[in-house]
Amino acid sequence: MALHAYCGASARPFLLSRSYLHHKNIRVIVSSSVVSIVTGPKALVKEDKVKLGGSDLKITKLGIGAWSWGDTSYWNNFEWDDRKLKSAKAAFDASLDSDITFFDTAEVYGSRYSLGAINSETLLGRFIKERKEKDPEEEIIIATKFAALPWRLGRKSVITALKDSLSRLGLSSVELYQIHWPGLWGNEGYIDGLGDAVEQGLVKAVGVSNYNEKRLRDAYKQLSKRGIPLASNQVNYSLIYRVPEENGVKATCDELGITLIAYSPIAQGALTGKYTPENPPTGPRGRIYTPEFFTQLQPLLNRIKDIGQNYNKTPTQVALNWLVAQDNVVPIPGAKNAEQAKEFSGALGWRLTDQEIAELRSLASETKSVIGFPVEKL
């Protein structure tokens, strides 16, 4: 792509190449016969919204995952303090300031069920309240999830859990409510509960998470009988964990018009370039992403870095852009602080070339997937 632009009183043309536009964070808007050039990172993300599945809900092409907020069982090195609380709040504010308005949480994040310090929904509710006090009209889109715990039976349990979530969030409704994982039994009842939540006006859209192809089709069909779209399926998906492409989940989402929400889109930090064989992650992630794994991953990380330099982008932004480029995919990286949230916003407003997308997939295929919720077996 190249653009002839005109500048100054002489209106002499000059050529803007695609690489120049990407490098300078310039977005070109064509409307009728008018070509506008808009600069700056915030201008890049304003237009980046997509319809969530067959619902009427529109969300940003990238959201923020709040799994780590309040958690001590997997994140935060088993401790939660005031400093980490302030960092999470800064991540929330920085996301909104960067025009990322979609936040994903769950009733089990940071709760007693996950040995957490404070419920993620409770924290998010506080952040929303403080933000709304400054600007009551600001758009903030919330998704949360129902935990399919073994003792929860039938459709009423979904509504009960949802109302508890709303209480923690301090909201009368949320935009998206999801079943966190398939239950051991009673999945038909859970799906009925999602439908009830829509009809009672407690949610705008409903989805599932960690559902395989068969369960996905069944849920879609069951909700369709009530005229309610299944808006999303949230699964583990990244450049180095492409199981949704292999087990039919991605193809089914595309076929049925269900948005695939990708959690762990930067493989819990493995694709950021932060970690090396000499400096692997600590805590539980260190037992998954080992020095041997990072040795295997190095050729891919090196190429991601090289490509990023061509666009003036970080490895994190390249890895997230690769997912967005798959179409019908909304990644939700977890942000622990403002710096991470700002970096994530830089993944939008530009696109890798088809050749780069294919090259990264080919390199990634040489790396063995090491983590993922086994949705293909559920």
Least confident window among 36-50, 159-173, 256-270: 36-50
The percentage of the chain sitting over the pLDDT mark of 70, rounded to a whole number, equals: 83
Q: CA Rg, the chain, in Å?
A: 21
pLDDT in tens, 242-268: 999 999 999 999 999 999 999 999 998
Whether the per-residue pLDDT at 313 is higher than 90: the answer is yes
Q: Tell me, what's the pLDDT at 312?
A: 97
pLDDT in tens, 359-373: 999 999 987 655 544
Mean pLDDT of the chain: 85
* Single pTM value for the model: 0.84
Whether the per-residue pLDDT at 25 is higher than 90: the answer is no
- Report the alpha-carbon distance of residue 232 to residue 259 in Å, rounded: 5
pLDDT in tens, 320-354: 999 999 999 999 999 999 999 999 999 999 999 99
Q: Tell me, what's the pLDDT at 15?
A: 44
Of 109, 211, 263, 311, the catalytic one is: 109
Mean pLDDT of 311-327: 97
Question: Smallest Cα–Cα separation from 182: which of 246, 256, 234?
Answer: 234
Q: Tell me, what's the pLDDT at 29?
A: 36
Tokens representing residue 313 in the block: 């982008």
Starting at the edge strand that comes first in sequence, how are the strands of the sheet with 141-146 ordered?
Answer: 64-65, 102-104, 141-146, 174-179, 203-209, 230-236, 259-263, 329-331
Q: Tell me, what's the pLDDT at 118?
A: 86
CATH of 41-377, one of 3.40.50.720, 3.40.50.300, 3.40.50.620, 3.20.20.100: 3.20.20.100
Q: Tell me, what's the pLDDT at 292?
A: 83
β-pairing verdict for 12-17 and 2-7 = antiparallel
Mean pLDDT of 77-103: 92
Q: Tell me, what's the pLDDT at 258?
A: 98
Q: Tell me, what's the pLDDT at 47?
A: 53
Active-site residue, 109 included? yes
Whether the per-residue pLDDT at 44 is higher than 80: the answer is no
Least confident window among 101-110, 112-121, 183-192, 296-305: 112-121
Q: Tell me, what's the pLDDT at 115?
A: 65
Q: Tell me, what's the pLDDT at 42?
A: 37
The full set of domain ranges for the chain reads 1-39, 41-377
Whether the per-residue pLDDT at 58 is higher than 90: the answer is yes
Q: Tell me, what's the pLDDT at 352?
A: 98
Least confident window among 113-117, 144-148, 221-225, 346-350: 113-117
Least confident window among 37-51, 71-85, 229-243, 297-311: 37-51
Q: Which residue has the higher pLDDT, 235 or 185?
A: 235
Least confident window among 3-12, 74-83, 308-317: 3-12
The three-state secondary structure class of 4 is strand
Tell me the backbone φ, ψ of residue 233, rounded to 5 degrees. -135, 115
Q: Which residue has the higher pLDDT, 273 or 352?
A: 352
Q: Tell me, what's the pLDDT at 40?
A: 39
Q: Tell me, what's the pLDDT at 80?
A: 77
Q: Tell me, what's the pLDDT at 37?
A: 40
Q: CB within 8 A of 281, min separation 6: which ones?
A: 268, 269, 270, 275, 289
What are the percentages of helix, strand and coil residues in the chain, rounded to 5?
A: 45, 20, 40
Least confident window among 111-115, 233-237, 238-242, 297-301: 111-115
Q: What angle do CA 364, 216, 333 make, to 5 degrees?
A: 45
Q: H-helix or E-strand containing 314?
A: none
